[in-house]
Structure 1
Amino acid sequence: MNDIKQSLDAVEQLIITHLKNNDISETIKRASIYSIEAGGKRFRPTMVLSTLKALGFPLEHGHSTAAAIEMIHTYSLIHDDLPAMDDDDLRRGQPTNHKVFGEATAILAGDNLLTESARVVISDDNLADDKKIKVLGILLKNAGQEGMISGQMLDIEGETSPITLDELAQIHNYKTGALIRACVEMACIIGEASDDVTNILNRYAKEVGVLFQIRDDILDVVSNVEELGKNIGSDASNNKTTYVSEYGLEGAYEQFDTLYDTAMDHLKSIETLISIEPLVAILEKLKISL
């Protein structure tokens, strides 16, 4: 997996280099770069790159796409941490953007990351124009009203009234799952995957999106600030319905294990068509147990 690690380093450098190309506002430059350099798991870029590796396609062809989705994810975290949203003061082990630069600058830094994510893809000489159009269509659809934004709104509305398990699944399908599914879908476009492989990988990505959220809900209960790099217990304090609040801790683990096995079965069904090891590694990194 060293090639993926090297590509992740290249992706981060691509983001920072692009953001430094701003001679108009030093403040926006610093605020935007601050949240990128704070680190994080880089889960979504890893999903893009791991899918390309599984397809046997050169990883550098996915660098701009991986950069773009990390920029969008980071912008969403900046806005999510604002007082009007979750009002958090710690993210990735560092003070949140608005605690360092103020609310107005944090809002603009998030806006900047969202907007510039598209420009990173457009300026990629490794991608053919038809692929750029398809990739951006997938990226913006899943980041916008048909994906993350609507999921976030449903999540906020769910804080003021009880929601059903189906509604909980719908929230996370859009809020968290949309961008994770986009990672695989975009990589399949770049890597020229067959329709059959793309369909199976999309099913795998759907399960991974739910796994990621269940894991996050569990860790919000059982982990600590040092391990997570953010405040814990915020779901309960914000009256959010989670997999733990609905299923109990043990039940949430059981849900996780069932979906984990389903995702693995999807991969095994195409192991003669692609190299599934990089995508199995994604699942193994997510694995948690009682």
Structure 2
Amino acid sequence: MQNDARVAEDTRAKVRQAIEELGYVPALSAQLMRAEPAPTIGLFVSSVDIPIFGQLNRYLHEELNALGYHVLQETIVSSTRSEQESAMENLVRMPIKGMLVSVGGVENDLHQKYAARVPLLVVGRPEPSGTLHSVGYDEDYHGETLVDHLAKLGHRKIMMQDARMNRTMGTWTRVQAQKRRAAALGIEFDATYTSLMSERELEQWLLKTLDDGYTAIMAVFDRRLVQLLQAAKRLGIRVPEDISMTGSDGVMDGVDLLGLTTVRKPVELVGRGAARRIVELVEGPEPAAVINERYRGELIIGTTAGRP
């Protein structure tokens, strides 16, 4: 059946005749039991309907496949700790060689727990403990770059959308960098957590932000910026004439068409770099130092930010 050259032709003909008479169909599962399993990396990633995680997912898969590895994936459907732990536990019980984790809200002790059982690398977000391998974005640089751009335009009073560390470590880190940079430049600023606001509440917040004299809003990422642009349009607020707005990520379809002023994160560099690093951890000796790589993106100057 496998066309092995060691089988005599008359024997092969008899087997084929028996197969035809019996209607025999080979069982793939039985064949797989005899085969050497392909090396596999476990991947725990945030919802792929978020553009930046969808792209990251693609580059991780492409690079790991090119390196001869398969991917076994768990996608987050709940931000609760129990659901996160359940997904990671399920992965580590599978025949994986290593694990990649790209979920903003996973707490450090969970990373540590599974890093003790399998080579583990944190992807995309900062790793504050300094004890875990990570490949991510330079969010300090991104936050500073956005504030510097607004400062050069002349903005001296900026409102920021805030983030929670236990929900999205990367965004929280960038917002903290924005606050530090604004303070260092003598810019007046405030921050509000708006992620749970309804459409009407967001409109009221936008109106109050204008009434309080803020000339720019820094959205936590591009999707939130688009929501603000939609709210401004409903309210008859002009952007950037009445208020400037910035975002982050820069990977959403139509960024150039919408004219968003944002930071484009180097998703491909992070994705492919993380894939190569986890394979190195799996195949080679433990590195002498903890892997801590940060990649910088670029400022995209659009039409949503102008002079106050």
Bigger radius of gyration:
2
Fold conserved (TM > 0.5)? Answer: no
Structure (1/2) with the larger strand percentage: 2
